[in-house]
Amino acid sequence: MGASNKHASLIMDSFRRATGQSLLDEPVFAGAPFKQLFHAPFVVLSHGTEGDPILNFGKAALELWEMSWEAFTRTPSRLTAEPLEREERSNFLKAVSDKGFIDDYTGIRISSSGRRFHIMKATVWNLTDETGTIRGQAATFREHRYI
C-alpha cells in the first residue's frame, strides 16, 4: 500500500465514515490530499492488510519514530511496539477490526533509537473503501509523552 493521493483520500474518507468527523481541520485542496495529510501537525500512520503490514504516512510519525521515509515504509507496524507490548497491541487491533474504530486509546510505543513513549488519546480506525472492503488500519493522535 503505497502513499499517494488515493491512499490519503482513503485515510480521510475512512475516518469520516467511521467517526463522522473530518480528520483535517481545513478543507482538502483538490489534487493535494497526500501533501496536506503528510504535513498535518499531528501524527497519522497507517498500514495495509499484508500478512505483516508495513507502515506508511505522515511527517510527524516519521519524526516521532525517528525514521526516514525509506525506513518507515519498510517497517512492519508490529515493530512500533516493544516485544512485551505486541500481544496487547494485536488484541487492540482486533477490537478495532471488529468495531470499526476506537477512540481515546493510550499505549506504549518505541522509536527506532529505543526511545519509549506513551501515545495518548489516539483514534484508530479501519481503512474501508466505498464498498466497505477493509484495506488496512490507521491511527492518529496529537499527544504523546516520553517515558
Ordered structural domains, the chain, with CATH: 5-146 (3.30.450.20)
Q: What is the mean pLDDT of residues 88-105?
A: 80
By the 8 A CB rule, do 15 and 122 touch?
Answer: no
Q: Determine the Cα–Cα distance for residues 88 and 103; give it in Å rounded to an integer.
A: 16
Q: What is the reported pTM?
A: 0.88
Q: What is the mean pLDDT of residues 70-78?
A: 94
| Mean pLDDT of the residues in the chain | 89
Give per-residue pLDDT as tens, 23-71: 998 777 767 899 999 999 999 999 999 999 999 999 999 999 999 999 9
The pLDDT value recorded for residue 1 is 42
